[in-house]
């Protein structure tokens, strides 16, 4: 698969690179960013942390705002950030920020007009990792993390693919999308009216049925403006307590939903993943 290099920036002795490529899964041109630590080479392949961003974000938000490169460089971990949805004039969209381009929700859409392009689950789980593995000096070891809609994506994907990832973490995840306004709107559009199908992409519902789960770390701002209505962390906490899984949920006083929150605790999450990746 042909990659077009869009930009290159040296960062903490490693390299931040941005690429575009034609996606067969999404039927459009996609963009992603990758940070390669200085240890990465054909003789020394490094593990990968996949980061899934939230509503309205692109591959750039995390790379430019989270401040993850310094510690990733020291730990020898690559970071891959895909876009949050298909893009382009031919791709279906919506006037709302919480549906359409910028709001793929990491599901495989089944409803028109979305199903032509919105196969984000398959893109993140299959196509993108295969592309990264074939073109960059990375090992087969990978973990996954994300924020808000991306936190939903990371936890949901980890639950559906327990052998594919070493660990999972999330910041302010949409934990129970079938019961919040963002999730209901997106799932109705992408998946249709049959709510039983929504459960296949809901962290709480998937965790209820899981027999085991990989190590997980969740950070939540106690002053997050979306905490009560949209994120439903209390529903996830109830399932975690009932299942007795190795899931740590931390409420951080004074923090909101922004990248100031992510930047404050990203090193903690990188250290967490490094313990399971190396």
Q: What is the rounded CA–CA span in Å between residue 150 and residue 157?
A: 10
Residues in contact with 162: Cβ distance below 8 Å, sequence separation at least 6, in sequence order: 210, 212, 213, 214
Q: What is the rounded CA–CA span in Å between residue 58 and residue 65?
A: 12
Provide the pairing of β-strand 216-221 with 46-52. Answer: unpaired
Q: What is the rounded CA–CA span in Å between residue 263 and residue 67?
A: 6
Which residue blocks in 53-162 are alpha helix, DSSP H?
A: 60-65, 69-75, 120-122, 128-135, 149-160
Distance set, CA 57 to CA 30, 105, 135, 150, 225 (Å):
14, 12, 25, 10, 18
Known catalytic residues are: 148, 224, 257
Distance set, CA 3 to CA 31, 128, 135 (Å):
10, 12, 9
Is the torsion defined by CA of 49, 50, 55, 59 positive or negative?
A: positive
Residue 142 dihedral angles phi and psi, to the nearest 5°: -150, 150
Distance set, CA 4 to CA 8, 30, 33, 137, 261 (Å):
11, 10, 12, 17, 33
Count how many Cα atoms sit within 13 Å of the Cα of residue 36 in the half-sphere of its side chain.
Answer: 20
């Amino acid at each position: 698969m042909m990659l077009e290099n869009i930009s290159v920036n040296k960062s903490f002795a490693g390299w931040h690179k941005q690429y575009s490529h034609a996606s067969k899964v999404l039927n459009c041109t996609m963009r992603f960013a990758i940070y390669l630590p200085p240890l990465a080479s054909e003789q020394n392949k490094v593990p990968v942390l996949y980061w899934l961003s939230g509503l309205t974000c692109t591959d750039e938000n995390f790379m430019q705002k989270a401040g993850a490169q310094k510690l990733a460089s020291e730990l020898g971990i690559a970071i891959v950030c895909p876009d949050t949805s298909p893009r382009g004039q031919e791709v279906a969209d919506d006037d709302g920020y919480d549906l359409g381009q910028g709001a793929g929700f990491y599901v495989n859409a089944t409803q028109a007009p979305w199903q032509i392009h919105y196969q984000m689950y398959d893109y993140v789980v299959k196509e993108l990792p295969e592309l990264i593995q074939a073109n960059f000096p990375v090992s087969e070891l990978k973990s996954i993390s994300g924020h808000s809609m991306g936190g939903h994506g990371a936890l949901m994907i980890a639950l559906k693919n327990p052998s594919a990832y070493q660990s999972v973490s999330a910041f302010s995840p949409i934990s129970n999308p079938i019961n919040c306004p963002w999730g209901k709107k997106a799932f109705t559009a992408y998946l249709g009216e049959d709510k039983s199908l929504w459960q296949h992409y809901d962290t709480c519902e998937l965790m209820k049925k899981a027999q085991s789960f990989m190590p997980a770390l969740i950070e939540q701002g106690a002053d997050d403006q979306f905490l009560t209505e949209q994120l439903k962390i209390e529903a996830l906490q109830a399932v975690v307590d009932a299942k007795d899984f190795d899931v740590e949920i931390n409420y951080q006083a004074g923090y909101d939903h922004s990248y100031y929150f992510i930047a404050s605790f990203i090193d903690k999450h990188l250290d967490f993943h490094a313990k399971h990746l190396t």
